[in-house]
Chain A
Amino acid sequence: MFKDLNPILHSQLRLAIVSLLISLQEAEFTYLKEKTKATSGNLSVQLDKLKTEGYIEITKTFRNNYPLTMCKITRKGISAFEEYVEQLKSYINPG
Chain B
Amino acid sequence: MENNEKQHLELIADMINTARKEFSDDSFIYLVWGWAVCIASIAQFVLLHMKSEYNALAWAILMPLAAIVQIVGLARQKKKERVKTHVDKVLGYVWMSVGISLGIVLFSQNTLQFNTYPVLIILYGIGTFISGGLMDLKVMKAGAICCWVIGAVEFYTKFEYQLLLLALSVILSYIIPGYILKNRFRQNV
Contact = CB atoms under 8 A, between A and B. Distances in A.
Given A28-B83, A88-B8, A92-B2, A23 B88 contact: no
Nearest to A12: B11
Contacts, number: 69
A19 B16 contact: yes
A16 interface: yes
Contacts of A30: 82
Contact of B8 (A10, A31, A36): A10
Contacts of B85: 23-25
B contact patch SS: helix
B82 A16 contact: no
Interface in B49-84: 79, 82-84
A60 interface: no
**Chain A interface size range:** 20 to 34
B18 interface: yes
Interface in A28-51: 28, 30-31, 35-36
B168 to A, nearest CB: 36
A22 interface: yes
Contacts of B1: 91
A8 interface: no
Interface in B1-51: 1-2, 5-6, 8-9, 11-12, 14-16, 18-20, 22
